[in-house]
Amino acid sequence: MSGYFKEIFDGGKSLLVGLGITFKQMIQPVVTERYPRTAPKMPPRYRGHIDLVRDEEGNNKCIACGMCQRNCPTGCITIKGEKPEGAKKKVLTFYRLDFTTCSLCGICVESCPTDALEFSKEYNLAGYSAGDFVFDLLKRCEERRR
C-alpha cells in the first residue's frame, strides 16, 4: 500500500518540478531572431552559391580552363571561353551555374587553378520558377563592378 502512495507522491512531485521548469523558461527573454526585420550576418565561410572573384579592377581571374566544369559531381557549371588573338590566356565569355543541382561541395572552388571562384554569402534565394536559380556569373560579376 505504501508503494501506491509513494508513487503518487513522487509522480506529483515530478509533475510540479516540470511546471517549475517551464515557468522559469517562460520568464526568461525570448530567443527568436526576427528574421525579416533583423537580417542575420553570414559567417565568412558560409557556402552560398559560387561567385567569380573580382580583383582590383573588377574583372575576374578566370582563364576558362573548364576544371570546375569537369570536376563538378552534378555537372551544374557550363563555361565558354575563347582566346583573343595576341593574348596568351583564354578569356571567359560565358559562365552558367545551375544552382538547382549544386550540392555545395566546394570541389570547384578547390580545384580552380587560378582561385577564380569563391562562395557568395547569398542566403535568401526565393524564386517562383527553377529558372530563377540559373545564374550567369559573368553578368553578376559585371553588375557588381558598376
Partner 1 sequence: MSEWAADPSYETFVLNMGPQHPATHGALRVKLRMDGEYIVEAEPVLGYIHRMHEKMGENRTYLQFMPNTGRLDYLSALSYNHGYVSAVERAAGITVPERAEYLRVITVELNRISSHLLWVGAFVLDLGGFTPLLYAMDDREQILDLLERVTGSRLTYCYFRFGGLYNDVDDDFEAGARAIVKRMRDKLPMYHNLISKNIILRQRLEGVGPITGEMCRKYGATGPVARGSGIPYDVRRHEPYSVYPELDFDIPVYEQGDSMARYLVRMDEIEQSLRIIEQGLDKMPDGPVMAEKVPKIIKPPKGDYYFAVEAARGSFGVRLVSDGTNTPYRLKLRSPCFSNVSLFGEAARGMLLADAVAMFGSLDLVIPDIDR
Partner 2 sequence: MAELPEIFRVMAYVGGIMAFVGLNAAFLVWMERKVAGHIQRRIGPKEVGPFGILQSLADGIKLMSKQLVVPAKADPILYRVAPALTMITAVMVFVVIPFGPALVARDINIGLLLIFAIASVNVLALLIGGWGSNNKYSVISATRAVSQNVAYEVPMLITVVTMVMIVGSMNLNEIVGQQGNLLQWYIFPWNGSILLPVAFVIFFICSLAETNRAPFDLGEAESELVAGFHTEYGGMGFGLFFLGEYGHVFVGCALASILFLGGWQCPFGWMPGVHWMMIKTYLLIFVVMWIRWTYPRTTLYGLLNLSWKVMVPFSLAVLLVTAAMLKVF
Which residues form the interface with partner 1 (CB under 8 A)? 7, 10-12, 14-15, 17-18, 21-22, 25, 31, 43-47, 71-73, 103-107, 110, 119
Q: Which residues in the chain belong to E strands, given as ranges?
A: 50-52, 77-82, 91-98, 117-119, 134-136
Q: How far is the CB of 115 from partner 1 (least distance, A)?
A: 13
Inter-CA distances, 117 with 15, 46, 64, 75, 108, Å? 57, 14, 12, 16, 8
> Rounded to whole angstroms, how far apart are CA atoms 129 and 50?
20
> Rounded to whole angstroms, how far apart are CA atoms 106 and 72?
9
Residue 118 has phi, psi (to 5 degrees) of -150, 165
| Residue 104 contact among partner 2, partner 1, none, beta carbon within 5 to 8 Å by kind | partner 1
| Residue 30 contact among partner 2, partner 1, none, beta carbon within 5 to 8 Å by kind | partner 2
Tell whether residue 125 is a contact of partner 2 (CB under 8 A).
Answer: no
75-79 contacts: CB < 8 A, separation 24 or more? Answer: 75/101, 76/100, 76/101, 76/102, 77/108
| Residue 75 contact among partner 1, partner 2, none, beta carbon within 5 to 8 Å by kind | none
Comparison of 10 and 132: residue with beta carbon closer to partner 1? 10
Among 1, 26, 87, 126, interactor with partner 2 by CB under 8 A: 26
- Stretches 14-22, 86-94, 97-105, 107-115: which one binds partner 2 (CB under 8 A)? 14-22
| Residue 58 contact among partner 1, partner 2, none, beta carbon within 5 to 8 Å by kind | none
> Rounded to whole angstroms, how far apart are CA atoms 52 and 59?
9
Q: Residues interacting with partner 2, by CB under 8 A?
A: 8, 15, 18-19, 21-23, 25-26, 28-32, 34
